[in-house]
Amino acid sequence: MRDARLHAGPPIKPVYGPDDLAGRDAAQDIGQPGEYPYTRGIHKTMYRERLWTMRQYIGFGTPEETNARFKYLMAHGQDALNVAFDLPTQLGLDSDDPRAEGEVGRVGMALDTLADMEQAFAGIPLDRVSVSLTINGMAAPITAMYYAVAGQQGVAPDRVVTTPQNDILKEFVARGTWVYPVEPSLRLVADLIEFSAKQYPRSNPVSVCGYHIREAGCTTAQEMAYGLAIARAYIELMLARGMAVDDFAPRISFNFTCWGKIFEEAGKFRAGRRLYARMLREHFGAKNPKSWIFRSLIGGGGSAFTVQEPENNIVRGAYIALAAALSGAQTMALPTYDEAYTIPSAKAQLIALRTMQICAEESGAADTADPLGGSYYVEALTNEMERLIQEELAHVDRMGGIVEAVKSGAIQAEVARQAYLFERKLNSGEVPKVGVNCYVADGAAEADHAVELYAFDQTVADAQLARLAKIRRERDDRAARAALRRLSDEARGTTNLMPAIMEAVTAYATLGEINRAMKDVFGEHKEPVKF
């Protein structure tokens, strides 16, 4: 008999029945869609009332090129945007910084000043389009630029809908685009949450992101557990500032991946919604039902896609879309079939968008709320995932909480350990991967896959450098310098830095200048290394 098991969990039984749900209170644990504890989804009729938004990850080259790709996908039915920034931007480096050489516009859009944000969203009405900004260490100044552009368009603050990722803890764990030490980094996270809650009430100023931690190697249960632990840390951070939980919790959002087995992923999200709702209501005492709701972008992880036989990734993407729909996604994003080779071509992004649209309109997954509800297998998996997630949360608590575990490097070491174990399973064939370690075609390694590769173009970088130089020449330099001095002075105190950052942004101070004004005060993070 073929063996099957959860990712780093117990074996899957061949058959499930009523005995697998014995001892559980169905009304309390499962309930109804749109009702506490939201196991079955956060809306009563789910996609019958409103489909998930489709939000492909987009950004490359200059703001002009990215703007054109935005409009291309919107013309084909994409109803929300998710902006990718190049590595220099993510790290707070101007495009003319020597450390940015060769990386300007390569894996995302280059952004140096407010002028670039203006160009990126030229002709795109920010009162009608929801925009995610996949930025973390630089979330405060990048979001300030977005708010400024919305203001230039005449959009009232209470009409601005944006989601900066702003999850610095997962950067320390999984990605590495941190700049400042942990404590000042957390201060900036909290400053943006507080400022947005008061000034831009429809924005989602933090998107807690288990996605990248899973991509770095953690297990399914760890992905959800670490995400919940990070959310708990941010909530505690805001409560310590004196904010009431219901003043900010309704706008917390999540970003998780969905590249594993369909039913395991559904169990993970059902358990995560239930645990989060109980944490907010019972532990933190939130009274507003909107505070209890776990709203998530569910996207496919790029690590699920392969170099070998890349066209098979289109099929993998379709199953990921189905899993996300069955898991109750509010927003969906898919990798493109060329993910393992290059940044997405226009053709590849259109195929991914059409995949989500076909899932929504043709598969039947959107016809009824929680079509998996009541399945012995799925409900038993949900309960088992809940148990595993709680075990991982308890382990985080024993390490002193997620912030202390990040500072010590303990979480990073555990994720690296799990990545190693998973890679061993791939190499041994214990985890099957079609075309990679099973059903491998003769000569597959030498096959011409005909994938359109994105080539770095130095003229793109040159154009960005020329734009940056022009802004520096033409701006009111005295105003920019005064704003940067204010930012440095306030960084030495405890005041919310967003007003000072907004002033610097609207004076066309560069991202690198804003970063340096804070880094001179905060210093740089030194990564702990544990084995």
Q: What residue ranges in 418-491 does DSSP mark as E strands? A: none
Taking phi over 0 as left and psi of -120 to 50 as alpha, with beta for the rest, 104 belongs to beta
Nearest in space to 267 (alpha carbons), one of 35, 456, 39, 47: 39
pLDDT in tens, the chain (531 residues): 566 777 767 789 999 999 999 988 888 899 999 999 999 999 999 999 999 999 999 999 999 999 999 999 999 999 899 999 999 999 999 999 999 999 999 999 999 999 999 999 999 999 999 999 999 999 999 999 999 999 999 999 999 999 999 999 999 999 999 999 999 999 999 999 999 999 999 999 999 999 999 999 999 999 999 999 999 999 999 999 999 999 999 999 999 999 889 999 999 999 999 999 999 999 999 999 999 999 999 998 889 999 999 999 999 999 999 999 999 999 999 999 999 998 899 999 999 999 999 999 999 999 999 999 999 999 999 999 999 999 999 999 999 999 999 999 999 999 999 999 999 999 999 999 999 999 998 866 555 567 877 777 788 899 999 999 999 999 999 999 999 999 999 999 999 999 999 999 999 999 999 999 999 999 999 888 765
Structure tokens at 524: 């740089």
Domains of the chain, start order: 46-434 (3.20.20.240)
DSSP 261-313: -HHHHHHHHHHHHHHHHHIIIIIS---SGGGG---EEEE--GGGS-SSSTTHH
Cβ-contact 185, 352 below 8 angstroms: no
- This prediction has a pTM of 0.96
**What size, in residues, is the chain?**
531
How many Å apart are CA 249 and CA 284, to the nearest integer? 10
Helix, strand, or coil (residue 278): helix
- 3-state secondary structure string across 207-269: EEECHHHHHHCCCHHHHHHHHHHHHHHHHHHHHHCCCCHHHCHHHEEEEEECCCCHHHHHHHH
Q: Which of 249, 240, 267 is nearest to 205 (CA)?
A: 249
Please state, in angstroms and rounded to a whole number, the distance separating the CA atoms of residues 115 and 240. Answer: 36
- Decide: 26 and 16 in contact? Cβ < 8 Å: no
Count of C-beta atoms within a 10 Å radius of residue 452: 13
Q: Is the Cβ–Cβ distance between 434 and 312 less than 8 Å?
A: yes
Instruction: Please answer whether residues 149 and 117 qualify as being in contact, where contact means their C-beta atoms are separated by less than 8 angstroms.
Output: yes
